[in-house]
Structure 1
Amino acid sequence: MADRLPLGHVREATLEVKRSVFLARVERVDDEDAARAVVAAARARAPEARHHCSAFIVDVADAQPIERSSDDGEPAGTAGTPMLEVLRGAGLTNVVAVVTRHFGGTLLGTGGLVRAYSDAVALALDGAPRVRPVVRTLVELELGPEEAGRVDGALLARGVEVTDATWGPTVVLRLAVDDPAAAEALAAEVLQRPATLTLAGHQVTEVAVAG
């Protein structure tokens, strides 16, 4: 899976080229409607600006990612597509970039526009933290109430994520694990008797990407 910006993360940068000011904003989004809302918000913040160029990539379950870009009045291919290429090159998904241009009176030419829009997005992304989706298996462990607290604490101490606990005549702990077989062996070690884990689906967790 491709990397993402952390939830709620926003990056901004300002680039000036021959008195034209390019204000870049890059945000984490999780669907197409959210991406378009970010573009609309940029327009609302600076209605006097001549261009609000944009690009976004969002994942779709069981389908190819949606990729869209807009030159918003700039010469075709000089803004949105170069911005999209920067997002692709960064290896990111679920991300939208908007660059608002305040015209400075000097024409930049097609090459100058491509560089300016690309550089503005790259500048906004420079040093951005990343997270990566990791799919973990959900399993359930059924045990007696008298041992639930001890087992819960022991599993947590060994790095097992306990996502839920259902209390009744018996207690069911729901665990998110990378390797169900290894988790079953660990549960048996903690319980000091054979343990059986029941599969209960999957969970997507985002973990920080080092560096």
Structure 2
Amino acid sequence: MFQTLAGPATLLQEIKKSRFLACAAPITGEDEAREFLDTHRDPSANHNCWAYRLGQAYRFSDDGEPSGTAGKPMLQAIDGQGLDGVVVLVTRWFGGILLGSGGLMRAYGGTAAECLRQAEKLEIIAKVEATADIAFSDLARVKAKLAAFRDLAFVEEFTGTGAVLAVSMRQEDRAAVSALITDLTSGRARLRFPDDEPEDRG
């Protein structure tokens, strides 16, 4: 089960006289990630390194630090905590002491990880959509039973004989909701999912 951040988070650390400021936030698209980075990067700092994860898409930047010492450890901090839809920026002000490759990886990855650990999280719920044609005689009963499912929502569009219900539900409830509608309507209604095989009308 993936999580994302409930809102922005920051963390400031000093490591061998260099200051590391982490800023993190939830994002829903790459444009949001770029906007966040443009807003929070500090041109006066030595480095503004970043990483983000959006489903299968990810990007990171070392911004002048030795390759692999900043952005990648920050991405690993995101992935290591099972987060998605998250961007992290770590800004460094150099304090005069060289940290070496291992030290930089620990500083950037550790600062990002601690910022994310302290941030409030939200569960990302996998949802699926489906529709069903429900007769007027079954409609009230079906709607009453559907209300028992957590995070389920539906919209009804009335027809001459009843209503088409467009239902949004948790992925894990797919089989139970489908069985419920079939049982309540004695097989007269069936939940149709976008990935269902088309009916053979031959």
TM-score w.r.t. the length of structure 2 is 0.77
- Among residues 45, 54, 61, which one is paired with 1:58 in the alignment? 54
Whole-Å separation in 1 of the counterparts to 2:91 and 2:154: 43
2:7 maps to 9
2:85 matches 1:94: yes
For residue 28 of structure 2, what is the aligned residue in structure 1? 30
1:113-156 deviation per Cα after TM superposition (whole angstroms, max 9, x unaligned) = 22111111110111542423424351313221x66345422321
Residue identity in the other structure for 1:196: A
- Quote the Cα distance in structure 2 between the aligned partners of 1:36 and 1:83: 16
Contact 2:52-2:85 at 8 Å conserved across structures: yes
Correspondence list, 1:3-152, <5 A = 3-6=2-5, 9-43=7-41, 46-59=42-55, 65-128=56-119, 129-144=121-136, 148-152=139-143
* 2:181 maps to 1:187: yes
Q: 1:92 to 1:148 in 2, by over 3 A?
A: same
CA displacement at 1:56 relative to structure 2 = 1.7
Q: CA 1:116–1:162 in structure 2 vs 1: closer, same or farther (change >3 Å)?
A: closer
Q: Name the CA distance, whole Å, in 2 between partners of 1:158 and 1:76.
A: 49
Question: Partners of 1:119 and 1:158 in 2: how far apart?
Answer: 40
Structure with more of its chain in strand, by fraction: 1
Matched residues, percent identical?
A: 34
Provide the alpha-carbon RMSD of the alignment. Answer: 2.8
State whether residues 178 and 191 of structure 2, in contact with CA within 8 Å, keep that contact through their aligned partners in structure 1. no
Task: Provide the rounded CA distance (Å) in 2 between the counterparts of 1:194 and 1:76.
Answer: 61
State the Cα distance separating 1:107 from its structure 2 match.
2.8
Q: Give the distance between the partners of 2:47 and 2:64, measured in 1 at CA.
A: 6
Alpha-carbon distance in structure 1 between the residues aligned to 2:181 and 2:151: 10
Which structure 2 segments of 5+ residues have no match? 196-202
Identify if the C-alpha distance between structure 1 residues 36 and 141 changes in structure 2 by more than 3 Å, giving closer, same or farther.
same
Aligned to 1:116, the other structure's residue is in SS state: helix
Q: Deviation above 6 Å: which 4+ runs of structure 1? A: none
What TM-score comes out, normalization by structure 1 length? Answer: 0.74
User: Which residue type is aligned with residue 55 of structure 1?
Assistant: A
Report the secondary structure of 1:157's partner residue.
coil
SS of the residue 1:174 aligns to: strand
Partners of 1:3 and 1:92 within 8 A in 2: yes
Native 8 Å contact 2:138 2:184 kept in 1: no
Distance 1:180 1:51 in 2: 47
Write the distance in 1 (CA, Å) between the matches of 2:2 and 2:182. Answer: 35
SS in 1 for 2:63: coil
Contact 1:83 1:97 in 2 (8 A): yes
Unmatched runs of 5 consecutive residues or more in structure 1: 60-64, 203-211
- Partner Cα distance (1:160, 1:132) in 2: 12
Whether the 8 Å contact between 1:35 and 1:96 is mirrored in structure 2 is yes
* Structure 1 residues 167 and 119: CA distance shift in structure 2, 3 A: same
